Structure 1
Amino acid sequence: MSSKNTINGRGAQKNPHNKFLQHVYEMREDFLEFCRLEGEEVESNKTQYIPIFPKTIVNKVDSPDVGMMFSMNPYQGCEHGCIYCYARNTHEYWGYSAGLDFERRVLVKKSAPELLEAKIKHKNWKAQTIVLSGNTDCYQPAEQKFEITRKCLEIFLKYRHPVGIITKNALVLRDLDILKELNKHQLVGVNISVTSLSEKTRRKLEPRTVSIQKRLKTIQVLSENNIPVNAMLAPMIPGINSHELLPLAKAVADHGALSFGLTVVRLNGAIGQIFADWIRKAMPDKAEKVLHQIQNCHGGTLNDSRFGTRTRGEGKIAEQIHEMASLARKRYFNGRSFPQLNTEIHEQYKNGQMKLF
């Protein structure tokens, strides 16, 4: 998107109203015209990093549709700007919009390593895999500045605690030294998101993410170092990237991934209007067709919250996607499996040192 009516370098093109706030913030046409005539910016497109001070960092995940029990997020909001991101809705809990605010106002939890250490040292805590980035990417651009994720990985290593990582950023390779140490004890698994093989599609869907080739290279480097990698081919969006499922699966398998997962796109809450606004600007010729195909996967609506079907979808299009996924697993992943992480040795290290007896 590069017309005068679009915001370059961002996914969302608007800030929809936060449903939890009483007042609605609007930009009137006369104000916009005044800014145009004066040559002034309507608002800054620069990313703001805002420190917050949570009391806890590890979250229990109750959803039966998510393959994790515990997650933690060093950052809230994400500069990657993925237009379909389900995490957008959570930004409303902090008093912001799920649209441009989600990408431009990133909340930073500098105390995350200390909170994590306190959690896994607690006498009642029993080791279970904690996933970095259950919500927003722990290796988004903010991580280069704050290095909170790296500090958390050091805590996981110190206490020999299993950790999963979900990211679409090659910055994970910066921490290869720690990942290799964790992997010596079978304590880490990495999930790399690869949504398309087309750079044109990637730039539209995920404007501030690394290139597809860098992601595939990341899978390769991790795999060459025997660190288990699962590829997240998600979300599958009918009419945009669903036709790429088989070549995507082959590409990640060729680069060493042990398995892959997928979801069918769902556009809950504010994401529905954000996505619809975006696609009518980014892909006007196919916008209505794509929206109708997404609706076909969710009982005629963009907004599907039903456990068991919301990430899988239903109907002919969703069935075809899952049939292709089954074929891809048989063709490219036969004999491969993603390992279970080790939860047995953490107890010995709870006090920072091994027990003698």
Structure 2
Amino acid sequence: MTYQPLAQPHGPVNANRIAAAVEFADRVLAPQGEAWDTGTASPESALREAISMFTGTAIPRDLGGFGDGVATQLRIYEELARRDMGFTCALAVHTNVTVAMSLSPNAALRAAALPRLISGQAVGAFLLTEPGAGSDATAITTHAQRVTGGYAVSGRKAWVTNGLYADIFAAFCQTEPGSGARGVTALGFARGDSGVLVEPALDLMGSAAMGTTDLTFDGAFAPDTAVAFAPGTAFKAAMYGIDVARLGVAAMCNGAAMGAMDRALAYAAGRSTFGKPVIDHQGMQWILADAATAIEASRSLTFQAARHFETGTPDATLTAHAKKLGTRSAFDTISQTMRALGANALKRENGFARQLAAVRIAECMDGTGEIMNIVIGRALRAQG
């Protein structure tokens, strides 16, 4: 049984692309998600296939993409995350790197990297966070020292999604220590470059499919031709990328919540207690009704925020609202829908544990709920 939400995107949606996402989710994610999450199988080949099918959605046709737009991208994330959110996060991070590369003023770098990123020949990773600099991105200390022909880079990056599989690393570094946002530059590195040391995957509570690692730069050289965004523009590009990521997280959380509703509705309709289906008991109907309301509210807010991206006027505050509500409501929805299955919800085969952990991890990605409150609070203060 599939939950049918009422809220719909404001912009046009490519129905064929959504159908492909549903087919991929059923064919690949549903049977393999648990193996990826427990580390008994690698999602890398599936990730590269998904990239070739879906990453071009967000990229204009004149740059080699499909040009389908924001609404289609979010609906793809929903349908994939409905089955496996951790895997979808890996795809979304790669897609965000690809979007950033499409916006780079470095035409030669763009021309070299974009075809590989769109086709899945290359997997991308976004390197901003550091062990001592997460919420305050202006405090990054990875140093890009100016040398003849480019930069020598030293420092450490943390929480690198796709670090395990990435071929291209988009790293934000500080060229002028103490200068804050003004000195940040974005440099491109390749796996195997001298001085680029990828560490083993982090042992997280879930979402092993994200292949999250730390990474150390030990005097790695980036030539001037590898500058994706120069100082003065790079930090703004990073913040735009974070906003794009927050919108994606909201959509993925909505998808994970819908997937939980799918399982709850199917089980409650097929299992009888006290002489009637579980779903016919008023108590269960009310639990599922509250979950449905949460999903509808979160999707409506996410699509409202998406409309601003579609018109080229992204609203950071609205996006923060969507990300905060999406992560919180998805966690609550998954927790509550588990009650429809009783003890059976505790079995890994039913996916609740994997998805619940993934949503909790997503709450920490691209700014926690507390950071979203800071963004929202500043906007409220400006109104005062």
- TM-score of the two chains, using structure 2 as the length reference: 0.26
- TM-score of the two chains, using structure 1 as the length reference: 0.28
Point out the structure with the larger helix share.
2
Point out the structure with the larger strand share.
2
